[in-house]
Amino acid sequence: MKNQEATFYSLQLRLVNGLSGDPASQKVELIALPEGPGEPHRAHFEQWEPLSHRLSALTSSTPFHLKVIQRTLHAGLTASLIDRVTGNRQIFSLHQLKDLGLAS
């Protein structure tokens, strides 16, 4: 019997500008990319703070690491969640994506 949650995902974040181009209307897009076949999951967050609280609850990220991610995003770069111990991308299960609001 094959488990539906056998697919794992890595997460990338990027800023998305609103229609007006106003920096205040920037949203954070969170993309869960499957490690293998499958469709990516996307979610948008109006502000960084609610997302940072979810990420800190789900990962071993410290406030310092979340600040680094935020500064990376505001520099116009895409940020991946990296395992601080190994330097590899952090991998998440479908259950963890549901906790982040990325899957139903």
Asked whether the predicted pLDDT for residue 84 surpasses 90, the reply is no
């990516």: which residue's tokens?
40
Q: Give residue 78's pLDDT.
A: 94
What pLDDT does residue 33 have?
Answer: 94
Q: Kindly report, residue by residue over 39-83, the tens digit of the pLDDT.
A: 899 988 888 888 888 888 777 778 888 899 999 998 999 999 888
| pTM for this model (two decimals) | 0.78
Poorest-pLDDT segment among 3-7, 15-19, 51-55, 87-91: 3-7
Tell whether the model's pLDDT for residue 17 goes beyond 80: no
